[in-house]
Amino acid sequence: MPSTRTLKSISARSADLSLAVPLVVSHRVTRMALAGATPSTRDRKEFQRMVAEKNAAFAESWHAMALQAARANQALAMSMAHSFWSATLWGKRPSAHAVATQMHNAALGVLGKGLAPVHRKAIANAKRLAKTKLSR
């Protein structure tokens, strides 16, 4: 069932984020505290990178979610049209479970697409920042 795989992927990404984000935040907050009022060129580059990366990751996330939501809405509309014609022509109605499953899968799809860019960037930052030394 695709939603189980998607749910496991979302769960794994969320777990990864729950470990990576505190590491990145603590590194950057420590770096800001050590930099004080006069950050070095290296610190300024890191702070600028931090802002640019967040903007890019969240823009990519919103874009991916919007595209996936459009695809899901299209699929749901087709499903509703099919249900209407099936009920009209053959007297068959979709089960409430089938409709709920389709909507659940659509929501998981949108969530998964939105989480991917943020996850990718946070994990990359955690790996990169773990290799750098904090010094003044």
Q: In this predicted structure, what is the pLDDT of residue 133?
A: 80
Structural tokens at position 38 = 């006069």
Structural tokens at position 86 = 């099936």
What's the pLDDT tens digit per position in 12-54? 999 999 999 999 999 999 999 999 999 999 999 999 999 999 9
Determine the average pLDDT of the residues in 2-16.
Answer: 86
Residues 3/98, Cβ–Cβ less than 8 Å: no
Q: Of 128, 121, 127, 19, which Cα lies nearest the Cα of 64?
A: 121
What's the pLDDT tens digit per position in 67-113? 999 999 999 999 888 887 776 667 777 777 888 888 999 999 999 99
Handedness of CA 52, 55, 56, 58 (dihedral sign): positive
Q: In this predicted structure, what is the pLDDT of residue 135?
A: 66
pLDDT at 2 over 60: no
Q: Of 85, 75, 108, which Cα lies nearest the Cα of 2?
A: 108
Residues 123/20, Cβ–Cβ less than 8 Å: yes
Q: In percent, how much of the chain has pLDDT > 70?
A: 93
Residue 121's pLDDT band (boundaries 50, 70, 90)? very high
Structural tokens at position 69 = 């939501």
* Rounded distance between C-alpha atoms, residue 27 and residue 33, angstroms: 10
